[in-house]
Chain A
Amino acid sequence: MSTVTSRLEAAGGGTDRLAELYARHIPGARRFAYLLCGDEQAAADIAQEAFLRVAGRVGVLRNADAFPSYLRATVRNVARMRARALAREGSRVDRHQRLYAAEPETAVDDIRDDDLWRSVTQLPDRQRTALVCRFYLDLSERDTARVLSCRPGPQTSHVSRGLATLRENRSSDG
């Protein structure tokens, strides 16, 4: 068994390679996670958990080019699972209230000052993810579909519906 492990590590998964992958990809993963969840600490945790999941998979690192794609999709899945857990426990409102109470200068004020960001945070998960993929990561349709775990095509409607909601919110606020 150690032969299998050492062979895999020799194929690109050694510890130095691991540190290099982490340094190269984790900042982007954190930013992506932050845009999906809106919480800095949670984003750091999400990125770390996603890295653990992807880097821990035997054989994934044989194709280093696929790593960012795997990592993005995993970040999105981990973020979605966390959001579901929050919703399931019915503590999402409490969570935000605590967040606001704990860090008013970095959370409440910023969100209040930035209506667009607030509207983005209130979009459904798939629409928000599609917008981030399109307007932050500049991903292709195929790569966006991979993050959303769907076929290429539907994600364009998520982008359209997300933009429509944002325009609607903007016009109603204005």
Chain B
Amino acid sequence: MDDLERELRRTFEERASRMPDNAPLPESLRRDVLRARRRKATAIGGAAVVSVAAIVAGLVLRANGTTERVDTIAPATTTLPPTTSTTIASGPPQCTAVTVTFEGSQGATGSEIGSFWVRNPGSSPCVLHGDIEVDLLDDNGQVVKTVTPPPAAGVSVVLEPHPEEPTNPPPSGLASFDLRWHELDLANGGAPCPQAVTPTTVRATFDHGAAQATTGSTPRDGSFSIKACNGEIDMSPLRPLT
């Protein structure tokens, strides 16, 4: 080891010793960690459920033939018997009308995570196939930012009918997604943000336009406030709400 290497070791030791040693776990960080684990466990569980359901459906279809044949119903104004038939895939139909509500946000260490619930207000179950795109809108309804989750990350979610707005704790059969943003300028050491995107509503588009919904400008918890520093905001995939 030469002089430079010795001096380098000494410099590193001296510099590193400036960082404090005492480090109690902040309560906010504990909550964030546990929430992250729950979220990932939910994603894993959701993927497992979908996989098992797909396998079971495949086995059932194989046992019963390839697909289910359903005769169409003849119009009531005619006496002609049904003359046509078609094949349909099993399972609920694609959701075409959903509602999205902002359920509040929690933050720590400069980061905020806002949770959104997706509900089926209809009277029968329907399915979202995991594709989602979120537009952040200003007061005039103009898009100020569009956010999408990581590619190929969403899973199909069957939405049970919930004509009434659910309360916490949520019932089964809802979907959810999260938006994450930083209110402080983290790239600048956590300084106050010089320029932030502050949408007033959020519009979610599902399955390439099959369904679309916009949050109310006044959510029921009254805390709707997104302030994404430098427009940096990302989102989770769509997932079942558990």
Report the stretch among B34-42, B69-77, B86-94, B202-210 that lies at the interface: B34-42
**In the complex the two chains form, what is the Cα distance from A92 to B186 in whole Å?**
13
Cβ-based interface call for B62 (8 A): no
Contact mask A23-35 → B, CB, 8 Å, 1/0?
1001100111011
B188 within 8 A of A: yes
With a cutoff of 8 Å between Cβ atoms, the chain A residues found around residue B45 in the complex are: 1, 4
User: What sequence of 0s and 1s flags, for each residue 5-36 of chain B, a beta carbon within 8 Å of any chain A beta carbon?
Assistant: 10111011101111111011110011011111
CB nearest to B23 among chain A residues: A26
- Is B25 a contact of A19 with CB atoms below 8 Å? yes
Shortest distance between the CB of A125 and any CB in chain B (Å)? 16
A22 contacts which of B4, B25, B36 (Cβ < 8 Å)? B25
CB-nearest residue of chain B relative to A58? Answer: B40
- Contact (Cβ within 8 A) B19 A45: no
The answer to whether A116 touches B7, judged by C-beta atoms less than 8 angstroms apart, is yes
- Which of B23, B32, B38, B44 touches A30 (beta carbons < 8 Å)? B23
- Size class of the contact patch on chain B: 35 or more
Q: How far is the CB of A111 from chain B (nearest CB, A)?
A: 10
Please tell me if B110 contacts chain A, counting CB pairs below 8 Å: yes
Given contacts A18-B33, A52-B33, A95-B189, contact A31 B41 (CB under 8 A): no
A124 interfacial contact with B, CB 8 Å = no
Number of A-B residue pairs having CB atoms within 8 Å of each other in the complex: 130
The size class of the interface chain A forms with chain B is 35 or more
Residue of B nearest to A31 (CB): B16
Cβ of A85 within 8 Å of any chain B Cβ, yes or no, is: yes
Overall SS of chain A's interface: helix
Indicate if the CB atoms of A135 and B109 lie closer than 8 Å: no
Does B230 make an interface contact (CB < 8 A)?
yes
Specify which of B7, B30, B188 is in contact with A19 (CB 8 Å cutoff): B30
Mask of B123-145 contacts with A, CB within 8 angstroms, 1/0: 00000000000000000000000
Q: Which listed residue (B19, B35, B190) contacts A40, Cβ 8 A?
A: B19
Chain B residues with Cβ under 8 A from A40's Cβ?
18-19
| Distance in angstroms between the alpha carbons of A55 and B25 in the assembled complex | 12
Cβ distance A93 to chain B, nearest Cβ, rounded Å: 12
**B242 near A: Cβ within 8 Å?**
yes
Q: Beyond A35-B15, A45-B186, A116-B8: 19 further Cβ-contacts under 8 Å?
A: A1-B242, A19-B30, A27-B20, A34-B19, A40-B18, A40-B19, A41-B189, A45-B189, A52-B36, A56-B32, A57-B37, A58-B41, A95-B189, A117-B15, A120-B11, A135-B5, A136-B16, A163-B5, A167-B4
Query: What 10 pairs between A and B have smallest CB-CB spacing?
Result: A56-B36, A31-B16, A85-B187, A136-B12, A22-B25, A26-B23, A58-B40, A19-B25, A30-B19, A4-B41
18 A-B pairs within 8 Å (CB atoms) are namely: A18-B25, A19-B24, A31-B17, A32-B16, A40-B18, A42-B189, A48-B26, A52-B109, A56-B33, A56-B36, A85-B186, A86-B188, A89-B230, A132-B12, A135-B5, A136-B9, A136-B16, A163-B4
